Amino acid sequence: MAQEVECLFCKIVAGIIPVDIVYRSDEVVAFRDITPKAPTHILVVPTHHAENATELAKIAPNSLIAMFLAAGEIASVEGLAGYRSVFNTGTSAGQTVFHAHLHILGGRSFSWPPG
């Protein structure tokens, strides 16, 4: 699985930076967000490095399947009846870590359209 030396989430996948892991497989690591935006806020991160979800789809499409299956399992374990799943892509959309990741947010109500 391709990794980048200076990437924060590659370091987390490699176990160099400790996080509160809730799910792990060969393809995915999921952990609690350090600054949660909801009572439950979990990041589902592919073990393969790609800058965003579209790039991941090009180079490791099975990772996206694994991420959404993990999201469903995590939601079940966390007792979430529903959840918001978000990919921020690009700085203007709020992306700050350029290793694809799926936000899973739950435990509160959500507005639509999102802010």
Residues lying near Zn ion in the complex (CB under 5 A): 4, 7, 9-10, 49, 99
Distance CA 68, CA 74 (A): 10
Give the binding site for ligand AMP (CB under 6 A). Answer: 8, 17, 19, 31, 33-35, 43, 88, 94-97
Q: Which of 114, 72, 103 is nearest to 9 (CA)?
A: 103
Distance CA 98, CA 90 (A): 8
Q: Which is nearer to Zn ion, 7 or 69 (CB)?
A: 7
Q: Which is nearer to ligand AMP, 43 or 67 (CB)?
A: 43
Distance CA 101, CA 12 (A): 12
Q: Which is nearer to ligand AMP, 2 or 17 (CB)?
A: 17
> Does the annotation mark 101 as catalytic?
yes
Q: Which of 64, 32, 30 is nearest to 44 (CA)?
A: 30
Smallest distance, Zn ion to C-beta of residue 80, A: 26
Active-site position among 41, 49, 101, 103: 101
Residues annotated catalytic, as ranges: 101
